[in-house]
Structure 1
Amino acid sequence: MELNSIKPAEGAKHAKRRVGRGIGSGLGKTAGRGHKGQKSRAGGYHKVGFEGGQMPLQRRLPKRGFKSHLLKFNDEVTLAQLQDLSVEEIDLAVLKNAGLVSVRALNVKVVKSGELSKKVVLKGIGATAGAKAAIEAAGGSIAA
């Protein structure tokens, strides 16, 4: 095979349709656009989703759901997860190293889920009222 002998597959290439080139072409005069109306005119056509003045589908349907972009920087940790950690002093870096929160997390909050029987000291981590009570009952504390 030589570069000068390469040809496209049979039927892959065909001549462009030349409209408005006389009656014998079958696409003369109106050039396949029919008579009158918005679709026959140059530059005249509706935008995507336009339904002739009827309320478009995307506006008829109710708006549903929203997820704040700020949520991806906030994370939660349970009391049961704190119980499994081997360290006593817990801060954001410890939780990230343990893989309990996202590396991108900026704020972490402890929620009351599970049991906590060991003493833990939270530094720079928030807690719900129930989680705070459970931590203090186990002899731990929450430092701001």
Structure 2
Amino acid sequence: MQLNSIKPAAGATHYKRRVGRGIGSGIGKTAGRGHKGQKSRAGGYHKVGFEGGQMPLQRRLPKRGFKSQTLKFNAEINLDDLQALVADEVDMLTLKAVGLVPELAKNVKVILSGSISRKVTLKGVGATVGAKAAIEAAGGSVA
């Protein structure tokens, strides 16, 4: 094999269509642009979403929804996660080390989902009213 004998795989290349080169080419005269109109002319273009002056779809539909930018800094864990932890004192660093909350998290809250039966002390971690009651019923505390 030499460099001058290398060819693309069969079917990998396509014939380059030369438009506007006479009636015999099959793509002569209007060169596939149809008759008249903005798109048939040189330099004729329109913006994406342009509907000929009609109010475009993206402006006809109402604006809806919102995604908070602070959402990625908030995390939540449930009581089953706390039950599975080995540590008696739980803080943000413990939860990050175990992988229960992402590294970006700045605020963590325990929610009432699942159950807890052992004593756990929360430090610097929030809890919902129901979760706090469940933790205190098991003998733990929320600081």
**Equivalent position of 1:69 in the other structure:** 69
Contact 2:132 2:142 survives alignment (8 Å): yes
Q: What is the letter of the counterpart of residue 102 of structure 1?
A: P
Deviations 1:73-93 (A, max 9, x none): 211111222122221110011
Contact 2:109 2:128 survives alignment (8 Å): yes
How many residues in Structure 1 have an aligned counterpart in Structure 2?
A: 141
**Equivalent position of 1:121 in the other structure:** 121
**Equivalent position of 2:28 in the other structure:** 27
Q: What is the letter of the counterpart of residue 83 of structure 1?
A: Q
| Structure 1 residues 27 and 132, CA gap change in structure 2 (3 angstroms) | same
Contact 2:38 2:44 survives alignment (8 Å): yes
Deviations 1:41-64 (A, max 9, x none): 222222222232344344455555
RMSD: 3.1
Q: Which moved more, 1:61-70 or 1:100-109?
A: 61-70
Instruction: Name the TM-score, length of structure 2 as normaliser.
Output: 0.73
CA distance in 2 between partners of 1:100 and 1:107 (Å): 13
**Equivalent position of 1:17 in the other structure:** 18
Q: What is the letter of the counterpart of residue 38 of structure 2?
A: Q
Secondary structure of the corresponding residue to residue 109 of structure 2: strand
CA distance in 2 between partners of 1:15 and 1:133 (Å): 74
CA distance in 1 between partners of 2:78 and 2:9 (Å): 64
Deviations 1:23-52 (A, max 9, x none): 887635x65545542123222222222232
**Equivalent position of 1:51 in the other structure:** 51
Sequence identity, in percent?
A: 70
CA distance in 2 between partners of 1:10 and 1:98 (Å): 54
CA distance in 1 between partners of 2:116 and 2:126 (Å): 16
**Equivalent position of 1:79 in the other structure:** 79
